[in-house]
């Protein structure tokens, strides 16, 4: 917790001048002598994991004894978790959001009322999906419910699911979701027949039916009220109850801009596990009732709409300021709406009023040069000069004035956001704070305001401008109404050479070249002319929402286009259009596959006239976009296995098949393959990319099972695992491709998109030690490092995409 | 009958008012009619529009909307002129403009009907996918050349129709309304050729040749180079330059498949093979096929085209050709190897000093190159979305070659052709 308590804003002041090109201000200290210093909690990771020299490693002292049933439940939850389900949920959330915005959202009227009306309409919209899911469970109950579970086997259940056809035709997003739901229900029934004491399926399938509408309702709520994840805690009650522990949240200064949709799945999985593992009927019913009740809670908390409203008011009032009038009251009214959408800003709660009282006059002096009748026209003109009309051909003079005032609002918001993210020791020290606050303002102004300072200032302080040459700025979008994202006023024309495309990476470390070839059908050997559109996430931004709103950009205009956005890192910005200053560094987790962005994260879209998005037909369904490479890893402790699913895109698979047909040396094939899996293996096993890892272990709660648990292993252990897995993979794939190349070739002849190599290592050396570490038992690291030998490996190649 | 002055005045006024009333009714009628044209979903069913590749659909909609909006603007102008017309002269002026508007309306309707009919040939998902594949083949053939020359390739809309030969409504031409420029190349493919669509590439060649001025330059070249033999023969070959350019383009992309495909179309007996119509841009059929065979020989050496030439010459007796034509044919035969060289390997300004063969190398579709392609891709060549997207023209060359040389497998090859074309069509995101 921060020490921003009421007492912090004491009256003793310290005056100090900071050199800034922005209007000089006198900065007043507000931290009193009697500052309360709250003991910072020493995080577990800091306290226990940072020493690579520890030879004996213990993850955590566990209270109590091992509970086999609890562990089985956790293993089941970890196994049940399915990334495809998240993808399907994201589609539904985006669809709900689109419907809400198109039909209900209005700057007039009460947002909460609009959202409640939208949820009612969405209930009707999603009814066919709920009905289909319920019909499926009924059919399944009829098929298997009356039979003795011991007479059933998993293959029979899988076959039933494969054969199942929806009773009614569904939209592609519903179809996709239903497919993931069927898979999950299959996992539920398979576990049901294998559980000790074998359950009678029919009643529990009926109970599962009861929770489906609630789960879909949560999807709707996420869709209409996409408040950031930090403000929407996921109730992992089941895991908490069974493991009697909670997985700590990641500590990061960045904030998710969008809801963590994986929470919907985790909660639903918890309900499934509840039906299987909770013995007492009353307890089971209570858990269901709680889940259903929670989903029926009306939306009462809507900080994003509040922020929209306050921002609109601030912008309007800026336009009403008379010459020389003080903007402090306007700022004082605006700031309270910014704080609630900040995860870290919540820590300012204690000293909120004092903070505002200090910040408002301080920042008012800084913004005075841009507002009021005498300065505002210059700012509007500057907005036009940096290309506002390039992205808004239809912009009226009123729009330009409004955009200029919105830029001032955005500067304030970003400044507050940066201050709120400052570490405690800075917040506690007024001298430091004032310096950092000024820096925050400068950074925010650099981004949100057009270059308004004299050229000599930029020569002396080049960091106050993001670009060299062409001038641009970031504008909140849409110009009118609730703001959803920012767009750069400049659209960069560029030529992407094959070399650039190979070096620049998009999400999941996929080379841009592969995206251009497999997703857009562009030839890898040719230079490509493109127009680059730049976007930035603000609180509440959904990637699908950006794409939907950008109707005038060829290739965008639909929610499904979100997979065409790429992360705008400084490297990408530098390589693709020569402006590294426009890129943004973000944590690795935001460069992963999941559609969650950080507030302030930047993205780009390539408008390429020659691009033709590549699709693959799906039997009985809507075509799907072709995929790029992907590596997924499963640490399956109950089965003593490490499973690796290496998906090769169609282009890559075919190029390898050509070499195999030509019977070239395996030395010509493996470097190509290892260049795909090695870097990904390293990235995933260091715990940086969560979406591609699953740990099935009785002591790992669902939140941690996706990669995050690995970041808790000692570095030496992680390195040992990475080194060995790479070696095992290399050796076994070499042998496989030498001996079984016809299998690989045959798989590539299937019309499915790409091929998946499934590599299963059974009883790999060191896995038993990892199990102990995750269980919290003491392990001698040197003992692990001394482990040698090659595990049994089984490799299979299958057409299409699989991730286990 | 004598009419008093004041009465005359009132009759004039009444006549003007009556005329104005009639005009107003007609202007409203035509303005409403023009307004109705604006809904392009009335032109073709939604499912038909969805049969188009997304980008082609966007461009076509923009193109047609622009034509209709132009008409609607004219209707609005007419309406405001009528509103402002007071005197008989002004009323008469509006009446004349109404007649012009009617003509404009009918021409715009013809324009829309053409595209409506073309779109409506995409009657089923499979046919739509096959025609999308045709769009890709034709467009790819153009872009392989135009990209080198730094020019933009227009989208292609292929449609199905009866008959023997294909045709093209080129992009860049003024359409029926005389004002709207076509933004897409609309190519007619005949039903019998749907699975052997090398004719598409020939039509795409017309688009390219017109776009870069190749036909005119080739005409000049042929005239100059052949006139040493006979100015008459040179002039005749020069007059065929646009069709020769298109044939050469199809050969460079698809090799022997284009030649055997041409044979299928023009093999209609001596009356057709020896027909010479002055002014017809098509070469005499007899010579046209033999020129294609010379192209094969120039780049591939000996091959199955030698057999085709033998049977062609045996089947068609020059002695039965019309006098006058026979002499032209006889004078032309020894020139064919030279003409093949001129079309394929002579540097041209249209190609920025390169030859066509330097930009589209026919050796990529030689029988040896196609066999190598088959060996590299195996069965995946026909099943993989990657292969059908990256190598559709060579696949067309390969399947055309196999169908021409392995008659016992012709049906199997045609089925294979259908399958990979379907796959190619399905690869694209639809509108």
pLDDT at A63: 45
Would the CB atoms of A750 and B428 count as touching at under 8 Å?
no
Residue A478: strand, helix, or coil = coil
pLDDT at A2: 39
Which stretches of A31-83 are assigned E, i.e. beta strand? 56-57
Angle (CA) B49-B175-B202 rounded to 5° is 75
Tens-place pLDDT, residues B121-150: 999 999 999 999 999 999 999 999 999 999
Cβ of residue B55 closer than 8 Å to a chain A Cβ: yes
Say how many C-beta atoms besides its own lie within 10 A of residue B58's C-beta. 15
Per-domain residue ranges for chain A?
Answer: 81-246+258-296, 303-465, 491-623, 629-799
Cβ of residue B380 closer than 8 Å to a chain A Cβ: yes
Would the CB atoms of B427 and A521 count as touching at under 8 Å?
yes
Would the CB atoms of B375 and A749 count as touching at under 8 Å?
no
Distance CA(B405)–CA(B397), nearest Å, equals 12
pLDDT at A190: 86
Interface probe, candidates A525, A555, A612, chain B, greatest B C-beta count within 10 A: A612
Residue of A nearest to B379 (CA): A749
Beta pairing partners, A624? A616
Tens-place pLDDT, residues B93-129: 999 999 999 999 999 999 999 999 999 999 999 999 9
Would the CB atoms of B385 and A612 count as touching at under 8 Å?
no
pLDDT at A583: 97
Residue of B nearest to A750 (CA): B383
Gyration radius (Cα) of chain B, Å:
27
Mean pLDDT of B303-332: 95
Residue A106: strand, helix, or coil = coil
Would the CB atoms of A612 and B423 count as touching at under 8 Å?
no
Would the CB atoms of A661 and B428 count as touching at under 8 Å?
no
Torsion of CA B346, B347, B348, B353, to 10 degrees: 170
Distance CA(A486)–CA(A444), nearest Å, equals 13
Cβ of residue B384 closer than 8 Å to a chain A Cβ: yes
Would the CB atoms of B389 and A614 count as touching at under 8 Å?
yes
Distance CA(B90)–CA(B77), nearest Å, equals 14
Residue that the structure tokens 């259903």 belong to: A292
Torsion of CA A440, A442, A444, A450, to 10 degrees: 180
Would the CB atoms of A616 and B427 count as touching at under 8 Å?
yes
Does B243 score more than 50 pLDDT? yes
Interface probe, candidates B377, B384, B424, chain A, greatest A C-beta count within 10 A: B384
CA of B428 to nearest chain A CA: how many angstroms apart?
6
Tens-place pLDDT, residues B65-74: 999 999 999 9
Of B54, B152, B385, the CB nearest to A626: B385
- For the whole model, what pTM was predicted? 0.88
Burial tier of B260 (Cβ tally within 10 Å: 0-12, 13-18, 19+): buried
Would the CB atoms of A748 and B147 count as touching at under 8 Å?
no
SS3 content of chain A, % helix, strand, coil (to 5): 55, 10, 35
Angle (CA) A303-A307-A312 rounded to 5° is 150
Which residues lie below 8 Å from residue B429, measured CB to CB, with a gap of 6+? Answer: A612, A613, A614, A615, A623, B53, B54
Tens-place pLDDT, residues A408-456: 999 999 999 888 888 878 877 888 888 999 999 999 999 999 888 888 8
pLDDT at A250: 59
Distance CA(A779)–CA(A720), nearest Å, equals 14
Give the number of A-B residue pairs with CB atoms closer than 8 Å: 69
Angle (CA) A442-A448-A454 rounded to 5° is 60
| CA A757 to the chain's CA centroid | 27
Three-class HEC string of B278-341:
CCCCCCCHHHHHHHHHHHHHHHHCCCHHHHHHHHHHHHCCHHHCCCCHHHHHHHHHHHHHHHHH
Distance CA(A693)–CA(B96), nearest Å, equals 76
Number of H helices, E strands in chain B: 21, 3
Tens-place pLDDT, residues A732-760: 999 999 999 999 999 999 999 999 999 99
Mean pLDDT of B253-272: 95
Burial tier of A750 (Cβ tally within 10 Å: 0-12, 13-18, 19+): middle
Q: Is the dihedral of CA B1, B5, B7, B12 positive or negative?
A: positive
Interface probe, candidates B125, B381, B389, B419, chain A, greatest A C-beta count within 10 A: B389
Distance CA(B104)–CA(B27), nearest Å, equals 13
Interface probe, candidates B427, B428, B430, B431, chain A, greatest A C-beta count within 10 A: B427
Mean pLDDT of B35-41: 91
Of B383, B385, B389, the CB nearest to A749: B383
pLDDT at A197: 56
Distance CA(A623)–CA(B77), nearest Å, equals 46
Token pair belonging to A450: 């057009």
Distance CA(A54)–CA(B275), nearest Å, equals 95
Distance CA(A522)–CA(A502), nearest Å, equals 13
Of B377, B384, B426, the CB nearest to A615: B426
- More reliable by pLDDT, B206 or A240: B206
Residues A26 and A434 sit within 8 Å (Cβ to Cβ)? no
Beta pairing partners, B45? none
Would the CB atoms of A661 and B375 count as touching at under 8 Å?
yes
CA of B390 to nearest chain A CA: how many angstroms apart?
8
Would the CB atoms of A615 and B147 count as touching at under 8 Å?
no
Ranges of chain A with pLDDT below 50: 1-18, 24-64, 346, 349
Does B10 score more than 70 pLDDT? no
Q: N- to C-terminal Cα distance for chain B?
A: 69
Cβ of residue B107 closer than 8 Å to a chain A Cβ: no
Residue of A nearest to B153 (CA): A610
Residues of B in contact with A661 (CB under 8 A): 375-376, 378
Per-domain residue ranges for chain B?
Answer: 5-121, 213-361, 367-427
pLDDT at B19: 85
- More reliable by pLDDT, B19 or A350: B19
pLDDT at A434: 87
Does B381 score more than 50 pLDDT? yes
The complex scores an ipTM of 0.88
Chain A residues touching chain B at CB-CB below 8 Å: 518, 521, 523, 526, 554, 609-610, 612-617, 623, 626, 650-651, 653-654, 657-658, 661-662, 745, 748-751, 753
Beta pairing partners, A646? A631, A757
pLDDT at A355: 78
Q: Which of A603-612, A775-784, B311-320, B349-358 has the lowest mean pLDDT?
A: A775-784
């Amino acid at each position: 917790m921060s020490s921003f308590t009421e007492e912090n804003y004491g009256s003793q002041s310290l005056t100090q001048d900071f050199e800034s090109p922005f209007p000089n201000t006198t900065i007043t200290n507000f931290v009193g002598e009697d500052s309360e210093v709250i003991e910072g909690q020493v995080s577990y990771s800091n306290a226990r994991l940072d020493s690579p020299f520890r030879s004996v490693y213990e993850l955590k002292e566990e209270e109590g004894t091992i509970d086999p049933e609890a562990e089985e439940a956790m293993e089941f939850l970890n196994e049940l978790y399915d990334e495809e389900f998240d993808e399907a949920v994201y589609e539904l959330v985006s669809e709900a959001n689109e419907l809400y915005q198109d039909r209900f959202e209005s700057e007039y009227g009460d947002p909460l009322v609009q959202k409640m009306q939208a949820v009612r309409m969405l209930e009707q919209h999603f009814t066919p999906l709920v009905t289909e899911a319920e019909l499926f469970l009924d059919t399944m109950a009829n098929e298997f419910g009356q039979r003795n579970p011991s007479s059933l086997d998993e293959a029979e259940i899988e076959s039933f699911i494969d054969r199942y056809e929806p009773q009614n035709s569904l939209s592609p997003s519903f179809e996709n979701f239903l497919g993931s739901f069927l898979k999950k229900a299959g996992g539920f029934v398979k576990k049901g027949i294998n559980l000790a004491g074998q359950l009678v399926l029919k009643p529990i399938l009926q109970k599962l039916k009861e929770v489906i509408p609630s789960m879909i309702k949560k999807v709707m709520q996420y869709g209409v009220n996409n408040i950031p994840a930090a403000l929407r805690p996921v109730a992992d009650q089941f895991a908490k109850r069974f493991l009697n522990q909670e997985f700590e949240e990641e500590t990061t200064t960045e904030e998710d801009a969008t809801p963590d949709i994986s929470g919907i799945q985790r909660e639903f999985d918890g309900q499934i596990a509840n039906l299987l593992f909770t013995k007492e009927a009353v307890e089971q019913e209570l858990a269901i009732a709680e889940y259903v009740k929670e989903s029926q809670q009306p939306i009462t908390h809507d900080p994003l709409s509040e922020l929209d409203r306050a921002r609109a008011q601030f912008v309007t009032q800026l336009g009403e300021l008379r010459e020389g009038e003080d903007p402090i009251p306007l700022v004082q009214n605006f700031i309270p709406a910014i704080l609630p959408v900040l995860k870290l800003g919540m820590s300012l709660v204690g000293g909120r009023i004092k903070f505002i009282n200090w910040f408002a006059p301080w920042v008012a002096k800084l913004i005075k040069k841009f507002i009021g009748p005498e300065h505002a026209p210059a700012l509007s003109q500057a907005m036009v000069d940096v290309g506002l009309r390039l992205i808004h051909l239809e912009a009226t003079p009123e729009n330009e004035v409004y955009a200029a005032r919105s830029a001032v609002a955005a500067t304030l918001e970003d400044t507050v956001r940066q201050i709120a993210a400052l570490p405690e020791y800075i917040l506690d020290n007024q001298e430091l704070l004032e310096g950092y606050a000024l820096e925050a303002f400068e950074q925010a102004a650099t981004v949100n305001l057009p270059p308004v300072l004299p050229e000599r200032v930029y020569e002396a302080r080049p960091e106050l401008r993001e670009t060299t040459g062409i001038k641009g700025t970031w504008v909140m979008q849409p110009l009118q109404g609730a703001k959803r994202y920012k767009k750069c006023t400049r659209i960069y024309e560029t030529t992407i050479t094959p070399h650039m495309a190979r070096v620049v990476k998009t999400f999941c470390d996929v080379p841009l070249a592969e995206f251009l070839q497999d997703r857009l059908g562009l030839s890898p050997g040719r230079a490509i002319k493109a127009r680059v559109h730049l976007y930035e996430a603000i609180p509440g931004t959904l990637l699908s929402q950006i794409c939907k709103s950008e109707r005038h950009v060829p290739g965008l205009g639909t929610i499904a286009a979100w997979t065409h956005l790429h992360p705008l890192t400084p490297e990408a910005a530098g390589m693709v259009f020569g402006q590294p200053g426009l890129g943004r560094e973000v944590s690795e987790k935001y460069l992963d596959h999941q559609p969650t962005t950080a507030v302030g994260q930047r993205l780009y879209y390539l408008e390429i006239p020659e691009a033709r998005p590549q699709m693959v037909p799906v039997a009985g369904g809507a075509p799907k976009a072709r995929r790029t490479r992907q590596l997924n890893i499963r640490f399956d402790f109950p089965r003593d296995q490490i499973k690796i699913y290496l998906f090769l895109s169609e282009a890559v698979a075919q190029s390898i098949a050509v070499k195999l047909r030509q019977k070239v040396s395996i030395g010509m094939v493996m470097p190509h393959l290892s260049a795909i899996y090695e870097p990904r293996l390293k990235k995933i096993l260091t715990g940086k990319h969560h979406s591609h890892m699953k740990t099935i272990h009785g002591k790992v709660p669902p939140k941690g099972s996706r990669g995050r648990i690995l970041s808790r292993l000692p570095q030496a252990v992680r390195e040992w695992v990475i080194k060995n897995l790479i070696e095992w993979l290399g050796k076994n794939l070499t042998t496989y491709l030498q001996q079984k190349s016809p299998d690989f070739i045959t798989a590539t002849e299937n019309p499915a998109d790409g091929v998946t190599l499934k590599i299963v290592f059974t009883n790999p050396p060191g896995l038993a030690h990892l199990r102990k570490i995750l269980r919290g038992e003491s392990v001698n690291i040197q003992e692990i490092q001394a482990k040698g030998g090659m595990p049994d490996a089984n490799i299979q190649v299958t057409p299409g995409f699989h991730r286990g | 009958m004598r009419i008093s002055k004041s009465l005359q005045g009132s009759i004039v006024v009444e006549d003007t008012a009556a005329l104005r009333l009639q005009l107003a009714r007609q202007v409203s009628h035509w303005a409403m009619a023009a307004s109705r044209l604006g809904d392009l979903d009335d032109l073709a069913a939604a499912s038909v529009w969805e049969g188009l590749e997304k980008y082609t659909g966007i461009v076509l909609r923009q193109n047609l909307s622009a034509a209709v909006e132009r008409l609607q603007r004219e209707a609005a102008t007419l309406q405001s002129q009528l509103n402002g017309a007071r005197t008989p002269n002004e009323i008469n002026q509006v009446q004349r403009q109404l007649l012009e508007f009617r003509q404009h309306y009918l021409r715009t309707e013809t324009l829309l009907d053409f595209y409506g009919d073309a779109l409506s040939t995409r009657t089923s998902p499979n046919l739509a996918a096959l025609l999308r594949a045709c769009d890709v083949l034709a467009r790819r053939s153009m872009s392989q050349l135009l990209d080198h020359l730094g020019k933009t390739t227009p989208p292609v809309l292929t449609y199905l129709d009866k008959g023997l030969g294909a045709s093209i409504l080129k992009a860049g031409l003024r359409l029926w309304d005389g004002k709207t420029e076509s933004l897409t190349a609309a190519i007619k493919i005949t039903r019998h050729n749907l699975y052997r669509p090398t004719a598409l590439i020939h039509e795409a060649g017309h688009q390219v040749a017109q776009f870069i001025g190749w036909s005119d330059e080739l005409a000049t070249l042929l005239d100059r180079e052949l006139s040493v033999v006979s100015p008459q023969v040179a002039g005749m070959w020069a007059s065929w330059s646009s069709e020769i350019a298109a044939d050469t383009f199809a050969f460079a992309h698809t090799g022997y498949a284009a030649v055997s495909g041409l044979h299928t179309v023009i093999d209609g007996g001596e009356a057709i093979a020896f027909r010479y119509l002055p002014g017809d841009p098509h070469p005499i059929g007899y010579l046209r096929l033999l020129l294609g065979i010379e192209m094969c020989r120039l780049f591939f050496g000996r091959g199955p085209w030698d057999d085709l030439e033998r049977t062609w010459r045996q089947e068609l007796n020059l002695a039965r050709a019309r006098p006058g034509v026979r002499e032209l044919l006889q004078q032309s035969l020894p020139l064919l190897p030279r003409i093949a060289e001129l079309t394929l390997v002579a540097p041209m300004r249209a190609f920025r000093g390169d030859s066509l063969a330097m930009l589209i190398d026919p050796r990529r579709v030689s029988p040896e190159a196609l066999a190598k392609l088959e060996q590299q891709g195996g069965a995946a060549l026909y099943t993989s979305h990657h292969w059908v997207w990256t190598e559709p023209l060579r696949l067309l060359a390969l399947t055309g070659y196999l169908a021409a040389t392995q008659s016992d497998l012709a049906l199997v090859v045609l089925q294979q052709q259908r399958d990979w074309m379907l796959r190619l069509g399905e690869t694209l995101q639809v509108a």
